[in-house]
């Protein structure tokens, strides 16, 4: 079995949305924001070995676009090819 490197690319929209979410969580409890980030990073590591773990996205008509649920937030990602996953956005489902 060959070792392949999976690259996770976080696009600008996702990065800005995540920063806003972390700031909001930190207003209440800084350690909760740190835990949120840590747990999310762990899920992204899991995506490298299980890219299909998210459900087919409710927001795109493409089986390579998936939704990953994390603490009430939806993370939309796209499996670009066998080596690349692009994280597109993160939001509360109520806000979409």
Q: What is the pTM of this model?
A: 0.89
Percent of the chain with pLDDT over 70: 93
Distance CA 49, CA 61 (A): 23
Q: What are phi and psi of 65, to 5 degrees?
A: -100, 125
Distance CA 26, CA 35 (A): 10
Q: Tell me the mean pLDDT in the region 34-39.
A: 97
For 2-12, what is each residue's pLDDT tens digit?
Answer: 456 789 999 99
């Amino acid at each position: 079995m060959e070792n392949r490197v999976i690259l996770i690319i976080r696009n600008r929209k996702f990065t800005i949305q995540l920063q806003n979410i972390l700031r909001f969580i930190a207003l209440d409890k800084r350690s909760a924001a740190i835990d949120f980030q840590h747990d999310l990073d762990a899920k992204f590591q899991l995506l490298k070995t299980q890219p299909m773990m998210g459900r087919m996205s409710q927001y795109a008509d493409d089986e390579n676009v998936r939704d990953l649920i994390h603490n009430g937030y939806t993370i939309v990602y796209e499996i670009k090819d066998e080596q690349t996953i692009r994280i597109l956005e993160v939001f509360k489902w109520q806000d979409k």
